[in-house]
């Protein structure tokens, strides 16, 4: 079919872009986090290094200050030595000179002085550790010391060799007393490079950018004492920078900014530092380190974090990309499988399918549609919907189109014209996707036909119900509501059908409602379906009705369908008949009973007469007498037979279960003599059934039937009588079959009449009442008796008796 929609492609792309955005956001957050932590750590590091720098600067300033103070002290000690002031005071030079020289040597070697010069008040060198004369600066400092009587410190300077020197001058007082006259001065010169510079330049830990510098202001310049780490070519005290460059040292010197400071150093580099003045000197000490160095670990950390995050994000992106691609492939495979399934479903569907473009032209159709319409599949795609649509007017088609476009789908019924012109009823569901309509077509012709058949059958049955002349009711078994009634019912009860439909059967049946409800329940359970009820009509008259009720299932609801028959007249007639029958029987019994009295009289007197007249009677007379006596005897026999007959059924109600086998045995016992005399073969079936009845009457029944079977035997063949039985459904059928003379079909009914004999009295003795009694016994037990016979071959007397209820069969 090849119908595939790029469903989900766009949303997939959108979700991909969304995820990318998410990644970017995550990246930004990570970057911000990294920067934040970088700032935090950098600040912490700067704070940490601040303390260190301050410590270093303070320590160095203190130590250098101490050194300066020490030098001053040394100068004082030297200047106040007795040998020195004695020498200068003009004492015995011969004696003092060696002492002074010794003191000079000790001080130079012991305390690391370069040179010690002792001058007198006229600035003449009295004694010196070297031959070198005092330079002009040194001289002026000495002069100043002598003039002011105060110690003078000669600022750090470079000497002719380029070494950094420090000079201390102390005036020498006469008698060593500072209140006495000045007799000269001692000049002690020290090499700063040996002690001061190492102290200055040494650092507590290795660092690529940390250094301590010492500077002082020199006019409009800042003069740097120390070896500069980043100006290694400039010897100490040679590097100068003009004031106004705003270096840390300058700030400290010019603006007295001490303690922790941040700014630029002599290179113009961003640094962090600590400045301290060196006590007693114009120098400042600045220990500083590049900000870059301090912050580097934090930066490295941040970079590592960033790099890790980047790697992580990259990794996630790769994983996502891979899984996305897999999902994409899976999706594509799924979609292909789905399309395949869809195509298969369409191919195998029993519903027709067609795809129609917006102009109404078919672009696809499945096998079912082809079967339905009779067009081959390739023919279908040349069709226009109007070729198929047999029912819709253009207006209707338009209306469907509008609905489909508005709701996206529609469902309606129409008719299709097949290729062969035949019409079929179809139900169509149409939906629209993109530029195509998808229509599923369900053939409902059969359903329509079935519906029509159902409608017709419904109408038929309705008529059968409504127009039936029998009184018909449809009753709800639980409530007894009359759900429906027909016109005959309306006529019978005298209520309109509508009225009947609002009534319950209790309004009509005059029995107690509980009793009626119980009977309805019996009917539902199929336990009883025949009832005799008193029904009251609209005019108040009560009629006896026989009702046949059977449960019917009407749409899942059990109702009782009842046929009501008015049997009032019949019942009355039956009662009448029963009464007259009883009266007749009573009469017959009384008559035959009363008739025997005079008959006995006639018989006795006839006997007396015969004895008295005896031989006096002639031949004719004796014959007449014999006839009279025989007539009386026969009459008695007849009357006895009649009495017997009328006694049947006078016994109480039939309740006992009687084994017919035993009844047959009893009968055979009574007939023993006859059986023996005639040599009758008499097989009796085993397991004769039992019935509810009167044992004596049933014995009598078999006595008569078996007796007759032997009595009416055929000449020339030995008699054979067999007793058998079969299951006749609701009744047992027992028979007595003989091979006797048989009975002509026209006599089959007559044989059961009272005093009816089929053979002459001469041939066989009998009074024609035996079978009448048999029939009465059988009917009294609710059964039937009939004859099957082929004259000349034998007769079968069949007795059908209802099966006893208790036996359950
Ligand atoms: P009866 O035997 O006293 O004549 P029944 O009423 O017993 O009276 O029988 C009526 C008549 O039916 C008999 O007269 C006889 O003709 C005929 N009949 C009865 N039983 C048989 C039989 N087994 N075979 C042939 N005929 C029979």
Nearest CA to ligand 1 atom 11: 757
721 lines ligand 1 (CB under 6 A): no
Q: Which is more confidently placed, 14 or 42? A: 42
Ligand 1 centroid, distance to 424 Cα (angstroms): 76
Ligand 1 centroid, distance to 713 Cα (angstroms): 11
Nearest CA to ligand 1 atom 8: 768
The listed range with the strongest mean pLDDT (66-80, 217-231, 326-340, 494-508) is 494-508
Nearest CA to ligand 1 atom 2: 766
Torsion angle (degrees, nearest 10) of CA 170, 175, 181, 182: -30
For the segment 653-670, what is each residue's pLDDT rounded down to a tens digit?
A: 656 899 999 999 999 999
Q: Looking at residue 2, what is its pLDDT?
A: 39
What value does the mean pLDDT take over residues 611-639? 86
Predicted confidence (pLDDT) at residue 790 exceeds the cutoff of 80: yes
Q: Looking at residue 271, what is its pLDDT?
A: 92
Predicted confidence (pLDDT) at residue 541 exceeds the cutoff of 70: yes
740 lines ligand 1 (CB under 6 A): yes
Ligand 1 centroid, distance to 757 Cα (angstroms): 6
The DSSP line for 627-691 is HHHHHHHHHHHHHHHHHHHHHTT-S-----EEEHHHHHHHHHHHTHHHHHHHT-B--B-SS--EE
Q: Looking at residue 737, what is its pLDDT?
A: 97
Ligand 1 centroid, distance to 758 Cα (angstroms): 6
Host H or E run for residue 186: strand 182-191
Predicted confidence (pLDDT) at residue 808 exceeds the cutoff of 50: no
Ligand 1 centroid, distance to 247 Cα (angstroms): 165
Predicted confidence (pLDDT) at residue 199 exceeds the cutoff of 50: yes
758 lines ligand 1 (CB under 6 A): yes
Nearest CA to ligand 1 atom 20: 708
Host H or E run for residue 58: helix 9-79
Predicted confidence (pLDDT) at residue 408 exceeds the cutoff of 90: no
CA distances from 398 to 1, 362, 386, 388, 645 (A): 27, 17, 12, 16, 94
What value does the mean pLDDT take over residues 748-776? 87
The SS3 assignment for 520 reads helix
740 forms bridges with which residues in the sheet?
A: none
Q: Looking at residue 169, what is its pLDDT?
A: 93
Predicted confidence (pLDDT) at residue 257 exceeds the cutoff of 60: yes
For the segment 277-323, what is each residue's pLDDT rounded down to a tens digit?
A: 988 888 999 999 998 888 888 888 888 888 888 888 888 888 888 88
759 lines ligand 1 (CB under 6 A): yes
Q: Looking at residue 654, what is its pLDDT?
A: 55
What value does the mean pLDDT take over residues 570-586? 87
Structure tokens at 354: 């067609």
For the segment 120-148, what is each residue's pLDDT rounded down to a tens digit?
A: 888 888 888 888 888 888 889 899 999 99
How far is it, in rounded angstroms, from Cα 64 to Cα 73? Answer: 14
Q: Looking at residue 4, what is its pLDDT?
A: 42
89 lines ligand 1 (CB under 6 A): no
Query: Which atom in ligand 1 lies closest to the alpha carbon of residue 742?
Result: 25
Provide CB contacts within 8 A for 608, sequence distance 6+: none
How far is it, in rounded angstroms, from Cα 659 to Cα 676? Answer: 25
Q: For a substitution probing ligand 1, which of 671, 719, 771, 797 has the most ligand atoms within 8 Å of its CB?
A: 771
Give the strand pairing for 182-191 and 211-218.
unpaired
Q: Looking at residue 110, what is its pLDDT?
A: 82
How far is it, in rounded angstroms, from Cα 633 to Cα 612? Answer: 19
- With the C-alpha atoms ordered 649, 652, 653, 655, is the resulting torsion angle positive or negative? negative
Ligand 1 centroid, distance to 766 Cα (angstroms): 8
Nearest CA to ligand 1 atom 23: 709
Predicted confidence (pLDDT) at residue 5 exceeds the cutoff of 50: no
Q: For a substitution probing ligand 1, which of 702, 738, 763, 766 has the most ligand atoms within 8 Å of its CB?
A: 766
Q: Looking at residue 180, what is its pLDDT?
A: 86
Q: Looking at residue 678, what is its pLDDT?
A: 93
What value does the mean pLDDT take over residues 603-626? 86
Q: Looking at residue 643, what is its pLDDT?
A: 84
Residue 731: pLDDT band with limits 50, 70, 90: very high
Ligand 1 centroid, distance to 669 Cα (angstroms): 21
Q: Looking at residue 392, what is its pLDDT?
A: 67
Host H or E run for residue 335: helix 291-348
The answer to whether 189 touches 115, Cβ cutoff 8 Å, is yes
708 lines ligand 1 (CB under 6 A): yes
Q: Where are the alpha helices (DSSP H) in 364-496?
A: 367-373, 377-380, 385-388, 394-407, 445-466, 487-493
712 lines ligand 1 (CB under 6 A): yes
Q: Looking at residue 316, what is its pLDDT?
A: 84
% of the chain with per-residue pLDDT over 70? 97
Its pTM surpasses 0.75? no
771 lines ligand 1 (CB under 6 A): yes
Q: Looking at residue 7, what is its pLDDT?
A: 45
Look at the chain and count its residues. 809
Q: For a substitution probing ligand 1, which of 667, 757, 772, 791 has the most ligand atoms within 8 Å of its CB?
A: 757
Q: How many CB atoms lie within 10 A of CB 225?
A: 23
Ligand 1 centroid, distance to 340 Cα (angstroms): 92
Q: Looking at residue 12, what is its pLDDT?
A: 65
CA–CA–CA angle 714, 717, 720 (5° rounding) = 80
- Rounded to 10°, the helix 568-613/619-647 angle is 150
What value does the mean pLDDT take over residues 482-507? 95
785 lines ligand 1 (CB under 6 A): no
The SS3 assignment for 46 reads helix
* b/e map 490-504, b = 16+ CB within 10 Å: bebbebebeebeeee
């Amino acid at each position: 079919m090849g119908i595939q929609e790029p469903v989900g492609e766009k949303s997939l792309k959108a979700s991909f872009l969304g995820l990318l955005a998410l990644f970017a956001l995550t990246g930004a957050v990570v970057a911000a986090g990294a920067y934040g932590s970088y700032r935090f750590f950098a600040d912490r590091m700067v704070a940490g290094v601040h303390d260190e720098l301050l410590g270093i600067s303070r320590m160095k300033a203190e130590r250098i200050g101490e050194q300066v103070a020490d030098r001053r002290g040394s100068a004082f000690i030297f200047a106040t030595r007795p040998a020195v002031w004695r020498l200068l005071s003009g004492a015995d030079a011969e004696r003092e000179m060696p002492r002074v020289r010794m003191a000079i040597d000790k001080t130079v070697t012991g305390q690391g002085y370069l040179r010690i010069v002792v001058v007198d008040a006229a600035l003449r060198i009295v004694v010196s550790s070297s031959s070198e004369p005092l330079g002009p600066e040194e001289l002026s400092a000495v002069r100043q010391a002598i003039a002011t009587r105060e110690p003078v410190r000669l600022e750090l300077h470079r000497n002719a060799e380029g070494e950094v020197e420090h000079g201390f001058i102390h005036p020498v007082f006469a008698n060593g007393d500072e209140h006495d006259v000045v007799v000269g001065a001692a000049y002690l010169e020290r090499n700063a490079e040996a002690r001061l510079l190492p102290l200055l330049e040494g650092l507590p830990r290795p660092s690529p950018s940390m250094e301590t510098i010492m500077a002082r202001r020199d006019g409009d310049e800042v003069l740097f004492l120390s070896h500069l780490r980043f100006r290694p070519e400039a010897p100490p005290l040679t590097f100068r920078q003009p004031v106004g460059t705003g270096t840390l040292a300058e700030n400290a010197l010019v603006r007295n900014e001490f303690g922790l400071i941040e700014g630029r150093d002599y290179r113009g580099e961003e640094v962090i530092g600590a400045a301290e003045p060196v006590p007693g000197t114009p120098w400042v000490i600045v220990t500083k380190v590049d900000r870059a160095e301090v912050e580097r670990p934090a930066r490295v950390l941040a970079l590592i974090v960033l790099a890790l995050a980047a790697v992580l994000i990259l990794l996630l992106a790769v994983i996502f990309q891979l899984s996305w691609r897999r999902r994409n492939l899976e999706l594509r495979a799924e979609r292909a499988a789905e399309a395949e399934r869809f195509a298969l479903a369409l191919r195998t569907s029993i519903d027709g399918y067609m795809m129609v473009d917006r102009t109404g032209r078919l672009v696809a159709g499945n096998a079912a549609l082809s079967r339905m319409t009779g067009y081959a599949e390739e023919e279908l795609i040349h069709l226009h919907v109007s070729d198929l649509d047999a029912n819709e007017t253009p207006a209707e088609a338009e209306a469907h189109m509008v609905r489909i476009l508005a709701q996206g789908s529609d469902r309606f019924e129409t008719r299709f014209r097949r290729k062969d012109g035949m019409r079929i009823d179809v139900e169509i569901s149409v939906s629209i996707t993109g530029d195509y309509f998808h229509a599923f077509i369900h053939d409902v012709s059969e359903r329509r036909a079935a519906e029509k058949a159902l409608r017709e059958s419904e109408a038929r049955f309705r008529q059968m119900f409504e127009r039936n002349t029998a009184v018909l009711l449809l009753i709800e078994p639980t409530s007894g509501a009359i759900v429906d009634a027909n016109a005959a019912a309306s006529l019978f009860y005298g209520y309109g059908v509508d009225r009947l439909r609002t009534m319950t059967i209790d309004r009509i049946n005059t029995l107690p409602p509980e009793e009626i409800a119980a009977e309805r329940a019996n009917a539902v359970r199929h336990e009883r379906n025949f009832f005799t009820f008193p029904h009251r009509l609209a005019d108040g008259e009560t009629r006896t009705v026989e009702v046949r009720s059977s449960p019917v299932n009407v749409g899942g609801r059990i109702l009782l369908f009842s046929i009501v028959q008015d049997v009032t007249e019949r019942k009355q007639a039956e009662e009448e008949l029963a009464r007259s029958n009883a009266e007749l029987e009573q009469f017959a019994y009384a008559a035959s009973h009363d008739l025997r009295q005079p008959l006995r009289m006639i018989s006795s007197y006839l006997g007396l007469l015969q004895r008295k007249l005896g031989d006096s009677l002639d031949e004719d007379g004796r014959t007449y007498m014999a006839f009279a006596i025989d007539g009386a005897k026969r009459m008695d026999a007849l009357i006895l037979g009649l009495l017997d007959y009328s006694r049947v059924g006078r016994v109480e109600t039939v309740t006992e279960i009687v084994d017919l086998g035993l009844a047959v045995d009893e009968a055979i016992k009574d007939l023993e003599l006859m059986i023996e005399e005639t040599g009758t073969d008499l097989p009796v079936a085993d397991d004769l059934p039992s019935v509810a009845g009167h044992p004596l009457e049933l014995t009598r029944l078999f006595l008569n039937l078996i007796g007759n079977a032997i009595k009416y035997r055929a000449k020339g063949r030995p008699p054979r009588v067999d007793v058998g039985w079969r299951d006749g459904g609701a009744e047992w059928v027992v028979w007595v079959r003989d091979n006797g003379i048989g009975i002509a079909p026209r006599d089959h009914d007559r044989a059961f009449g009272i005093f009816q004999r089929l053979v002459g009295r001469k041939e066989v003795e009998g009074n024609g009442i035996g079978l009448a009694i048999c029939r009465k016994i059988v009917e009294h037990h609710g059964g039937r008796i009939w004859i099957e016979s082929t004259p000349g071959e034998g007769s079968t007397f069949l007795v059908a008796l209802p099966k006893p209820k208790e036996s359950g069969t």
